[in-house]
Structure 1
Amino acid sequence: MPALSLLPHVPDDVMARLSARPAAFPERADAVVIGGGIMGAAAAYYLAGAGLETVLVERDRVSSQQSGRNWGFVRTQYRDPLELPLAMEALSIWPGLEQELGEATGWRRNGCIFVADTEEEQSAFARWQDRARDISPDARILSGREVSALLPALRRMTAGGLHTPSDGQAEPALATTAFARAAARSGVTILEDCGAIAIETAGGKVSGVQTEHGLIRCDVAVCAAGALSHRLLAPLGLDLPQQSVRSTVSLTAPLPPLAEACFCGFGIGLRQRVDGSCIIAADSSSDIDLSLDSFRAARFFLPELLRHRNGFALRLGRPFLDDLHERLAVPQHERALAGRRPSIPANRDRAARTSETVSRLFAGTEAIEIVKSWAGRIDVLPDALPVLDAPGGIAGLIVATGFSGHGFGLGPAVGRHVARLAKGDAPAEILAPLRFDRFARGTYARAHAPL
C-alpha cells in the first residue's frame, strides 16, 4: 500500500462526490438506508448482496461525519463483554475486505496495546481478560518489563498492560467510502445531499422514507443516522435516550516509530499510520456542548456523568443558540436537516495538552508538528452499547445507531446483521444485549468504560 498523504486526510477537507453523475431520484426501493457512515454504507452493500434493491440517503457526504473523524482502531481489546462477540465477528471480516470490496481500506493487522499507569488499572485489565478468555483468547496480560520491550520508545515505566496482536487499524474515510463504492457497483443508489425527514408507516409497517427531495416508497428502512437517529425515531413512538459529545482529534506530521500497535494509556490514544504520521487524541475526555436538547433523557446519563465528571467539560456557546433557533424558527419536520455540514470546532487547548503528553511519553517527539485538528460529534447511549435491532411493532424498521465512539471497527459485522434482519431472519443471539427496548425495560447495565 502506498504511503498515505497528509493533505487529503479527512475530515474538514472538501470531499468529492462518489459519482460525478447525479443519480435519478427513485420513487421505489426494497430498502432505504438512512445515513452514509460506515454502518449505513456497509448495510447498503450487504443489502444489495442479499438481493434487495437499495437506496442510501445521506444529508451531507458519505463519511463526512463520525465515520471519517474517528481514530481508526479496529479492536476487540477491552470491549464490553456484551459487545465483544460482535467485535470478534467484525475482526474476522476486516482482513478480507479489500479483496471483497475491490477498494483500499487501509487495513493493517498491527495489534492493540493498552498500558496501565497503576496497579488498579492493571487489575481491571486482568479481570477483563479473565471474562473474555473464551471469546478473545489472543488477548494477553503484559508485565511492565514486557510493555517496555514492546514499546521501546515509551519513556515511562508502567504497571503492565493488555495486548491483542490480532487487532488492527484502518483508515476511517477510506474504509467507509470503500463500502459505499462497492455498494454503488452492486446497484445501490446513493443520494448525497439528500436528508431524510421522516420514516413513513402504514398499518404497522414501514411504507417509505420521506426525504427533502421527495418520498421513496419501501418496505425496509434502516436508521443508521448517528446522532440524529432519535429525531427520526421519536415520531414512531420509539424513545431513544441518545445524546452526543464532542471529541477532538489531531494529525501529526511524520514521527519516528513510536508504537506499531494502536496505543492507549496515560490519558491518550495514538495510532501511527503507514507514513509515520500519528492520529492522537485524549482518551475518555470529551466536551459536552449544552443545549436544550441536553436535558432530554438526562436521567439516563447523570450517574455516569457524575462518576466520571473529570472526563467531561460542559460548554455553553453556539450549539445552545443554534438549538434555540431551530426550536423557534425551523419547522419540526425539517429539524432532521438542521446543521447540515457543520463546522465542528476542535478543542485547541485539549489538542495542545494531548500533544504535550505524547512528547513526554515517547522519545523522538520533542517537537511535534500538528498538521491539523478536528472534532466529531459522537452519539452515545447510557450503557455505551449500540442498538442493533428490528424493534417490535413496526415491521421493516431496523435500527443501527448509538455506537458511542467505538463503532468504526464493528461496521462490517453490523452491515451483515442488518441484511439478515431485512430478510426476516431471527436476530442472532449475540444481538440480544443490543435490543432497542432495554432502556424502557431497565435491563441495561452501567457502561463498561467511561463514555
Structure 2
Amino acid sequence: MPPISLLRHAPSDAVSRLMDRTEPLPATADVIIIGGGIMGCSAAWYLARANLKVVLLEKNRIASQQSGRNWGFVRSLYRDPAELPLAAQALSLWPDLRAELGHETGWTRSGCLFLCADEDERRSYQAWLNAAGGMVSQTRMLSPDDVAARFPRISLRTEGAIIAEADGQAEPTLATLAFARAAINAGAIVLEDCGVSALETAGGSVCGVQTEHGPVRAPIVICAAGEQTYRLLQGLDVQLPQKVVRSTVSLTQPLPAMDLPCFVGYGLGLRQRPDGSCIIATDAGTDIDLTLDSLRASRYFLREVVRNHKGFSFRLGKPFVSDLYTRLSVPKSDWAIKPRDPDIAPNARRVQENLKRFTSLFAEMPPVEIVKSWAGNIDVMPDALPVIDASWPASGLIIATGFSGHGFGLGPAVGSTLSALARGAQPSTDLKPFSADRFLRGAYSRPYAAI
C-alpha cells in the first residue's frame, strides 16, 4: 500500500503559513474579507482576479476550522431544493479549478450514493427526486438488485438507493489553500493571525473593520467568519440565530479499492480517497456542547432538537469551562477572536460506533485501523440553509454563514456569488431563500433534511 500523508488531512497538519514573509496590515482596501475558509478564500480569488484590492483576515490559519475538517463531499444529492442552483453552479466550476487556480484541489467526479435502509427512506429520496426535477442531472433511483449488482462490497441487503453520478469529492484543505494561494498570486493580501474584533460603520454603512493589530478601511466587508459571525453582528445590534454543533470525523489507513461513490447509509458517511484511505463519520449525528451561550436563540431550534433528539448528544465539559474562562478573562471586544485555535475534541464513542457500522456494511473488507480522528464546530441555522445576503443590516456588508455542515461543496459558487455582490453585479442564482432577516420575518421552514 502507498504511504499515507497526514499533511493532506486537516485540521492541524496542513495549516502552515502560506508565505515565508511578513505582510504589513494595509490601511485601506476595496474589499475586506473576514474568514479564511473556502467561502472567504474563493471570494478573494474571484475578486482579486477582477483587479480589486482585497484583504482577507483570518484569526488563525487558512482552512484551520470547518473548511479543513469536513467530509469533502461535493454533492447536489438530497440538498434542499433552494440550494440546488448553487450546487449546480458549483459542480460546473469544480472540474476546471485545478487548471484555473494552478494548485491541486483533489477534485474527482466520483458520484454520490445514499442507501435506502427502509421503505421510508426510499419514499423520501423519491419525493426529493420528484421535487428536484430538472434542477439535477444524472440522478436516479436504484433498485435493491441494482445496488447489489453494482456495489458488491456492500454486505447488507438494502431497499435500494439514490445516486447522483455527476457529484464528486475534493480535499477540503487542499482546495481551500488552492483558492488562497491563487488569490495571493492575483494580488490579494491574506493575513493569518489577524483576528477581527468589530465591524466599523458610519451613517448606516460599513466603513471597515477593527482588527487586533489595528483598523482597515473599506466600503465593502464580506463576513464569512463561520461560527463567530453572530458575535461580529452583535456589534450592529443584530441577533442572528446561529448555533454551533460538533461533528466527529475519522481517517482510516489505506484500504483496497471499494469502488464506491461518496457514500451515506445506515448511519455512516464515507468517502474513499485516491490513496485508499477513508473519511468516515456519523450520518446526521452531532454533539451539542453546552456553554453560557446555549440558550441564545434557542426558541428557533427547540422544535427540531425535540423532533430529532436521537441524533443529538448534549455535553457539558471543556467547552463550557473555556467559554467561562473567556468571559472572565478576555475583554468582550475580543470574544470573536479568542480562543484563536479552539481545542475541539472528537467523540471517542462515535468513532467506535462508526467502526462497527463500517464492519457491518462492508463485512468482507480487511480490519480497519483509525489513523486519526478530529472534530469540527459546524455553524447551523434553524432551517439548515445558509445566510448569503448583501442587503441587511448595513449597506456594504455582505454575510455568508450558517452553511450547516454542507457548505464545502458549494464553495466555488458561493465565492463567485460573493464577488458579484461586492462588485454590484447580479448573482447568477436567486438568493432570496438565504436572506439574513428571514428569521425575524418568520419566512423560514423546518430543515429539508438532517444532512
Please give the range of the TM-score, normalised by the shorter of the 2 chains. Answer: over 0.9
Q: Who is 1:141 aligned against?
A: 141
Is this contact kept in 2: 1:389–1:427, CA < 8 A? no
Q: For 2:88 and 2:212, how far apart are their aligned partners in 1? A: 38
Q: Secondary structure at the match of 1:314?
A: strand
- Structure 2 distance, partners of 1:115, 1:8, is 28
Aligned pairs for 1:64-79 within 5 A: 64-79=64-79
- Counterpart of 2:119 in structure 1 is 119
Q: How far apart, CA to CA, are the structure 2 residues paired with 1:425 and 1:187?
A: 21
- Counterpart AA for 1:238: V
In structure 1, the partner of 2:365 is 365
User: Residues 105 and 178 of structure 2 are in contact (CA less than 8 Å); yes or no, is this contact kept in structure 1?
Assistant: yes
The offset of 1:7, in angstroms, is 5.2
Query: Are 2:8 and 2:173, in contact at CA under 8 Å, matched by a contact in 1?
Result: no
* Alignment deviations for residues 322-341 of structure 1 (CA, whole Å, 9 cap, x no partner): 21222232211111111111
How far apart are the structure 1 equivalents of 2:3 and 2:347?
A: 29
Greater mean deviation of Cα atoms: 376-385 or 418-427: 418-427
CA distance in 1, matches of 2:113, 2:420: 33
Q: Would you identify which runs of 4 or more consecutive aligned residues in structure 1 move more than 6 Å?
A: none
- TM-score in terms of structure 1 length: 0.97
Retained in 1: the 8 A contact 2:206–2:396?
Answer: yes
Correspondences of 1:16-415 after superposition (within 5 Å): 16-415=16-415
Is the contact between residue 3 and residue 274 of structure 1 (CA under 8 Å) also seen in structure 2? no
Q: Deviations over 1:44-88 (max 9, x none)?
A: 111112221000000000001100000000000000001111111
Aligned-partner Cα distance in 2 for 1:335–1:354: 35
Say whether the 8 Å CA contact 1:288–1:315 is kept in structure 2. yes
SS in 1 for 2:206: strand
| Distance in 1, Cα, partners of 2:435 & 2:79 | 18
| 1:240 to partner: Cα distance | 0.8
Deviation at 1:31, TM superposition (A): 0.6
Q: How many angstroms apart in 2 are the aligned matches of 1:304 and 1:269?
A: 21
Q: Deviations over 1:118-155 (max 9, x none)?
A: 00000000000001121103210110111112211000
Q: Which moved more, 1:362-371 or 1:383-392?
A: 362-371
Give the 3-state SS of the residue equivalent to 1:103 in structure 2. Answer: coil
Shift of 1:391: 2.7
Q: What fraction of aligned residue pairs are identical, expressed as a percent? A: 54
In structure 2, relative to structure 1, the CA distance for the partners of 1:83 and 1:254 (3 Å cut) is same
Tell me, in whole angstroms, the C-alpha distance in 2 between the residues paired with 1:8 and 1:364.
28
Relative to structure 1, the CA distance from residue 401 to residue 268 in structure 2 (aligned partners, 3 Å threshold; closer, same or farther) is same
Report the equivalent of 1:9: 9
- In the alignment, the residues of structure 2 paired with residue 259 and residue 233 of structure 1 have an alpha-carbon distance, to the nearest angstrom, of 45
How many residue pairs are counted as aligned between the two chains? 450
Deviates more, 1:320-329 or 1:184-193: 320-329
The equivalent residue for 2:417 is 417
- TM-fit CA distance, 1:237: 2.4
RMSD: 1.4
1: CA distance, partners of 2:19 / 2:217: 23
The CA deviation string for residues 390-418 of structure 1, in whole angstroms up to 9 with x for no partner, is 03351110000000000000000001110
CA contact (8 A) 1:75 1:409 kept: yes
The Cα shift of 1:105 comes to 0.2
- Displacement of 1:382 in angstroms is 0.3
Separation of aligned partners in 1, 2:322 and 2:391: 32
Deviation at 1:6, TM superposition (A): 4.0
1:86-130 CA-to-partner distances (Å, cap 9, x unmatched) read 111111100010011011000000100000000000000000000
Distance 1:139 1:177, change over 3 A: same
Q: Which runs of 5+ in 2 are unaligned?
A: none
String of CA shifts for 1:189-210, please: whole Å, max 9, x gaps: 0100000111101111111111
Give the TM-score taking structure 2 as reference length: 0.97
Return the alpha-carbon distance in structure 1 between the equivalents of residues 158 and 391 of structure 2: 45
